Amino acid sequence: MTDLTCAELVELVTEYLEGALPSGERQAFEVHLAACAGCAHYIEQIRYVTRLTGALAEQPVSDSTRAELLRLVRNWKTDQSQP
């Protein structure tokens, strides 16, 4: 198992939420989440967004939908980190 950085976690988040991560990566992901409050909060935001859209739960996610979701949550995180 390798340690994830915050940036790597962000890259893996859609696969994680889809249950598409290999078990080793999933474990590394969850270890990082348990240790990193910022990422744990980030995941909660993404789960909220995906509940709103239903995209990840209801149907396969197209690349454009995935990109749009990632853009949305990245902008959201950036906005919230501003003082």
Residues that bind Zn ion (CB under 5 A): 6, 36, 39
For Zn ion, the closer CB: 6 or 34: 6
For Zn ion, the closer CB: 9 or 55: 9
Task: State the nearest-atom distance from the C-beta of 39 to Zn ion, in Å.
Answer: 3
For Zn ion, the closer CB: 39 or 56: 39
Residues in the chain: 83
List of residues 6+ apart from 46 with CB closer than 8 A: 13, 17, 69, 73
Task: State the nearest-atom distance from the C-beta of 23 to Zn ion, in Å.
Answer: 20
CB-CB contact of 50 with 17 (8 Å): yes
Task: State the nearest-atom distance from the C-beta of 9 to Zn ion, in Å.
Answer: 6
How far apart (Å, rounded) are the C-alpha atoms in residues 81 and 36? 15
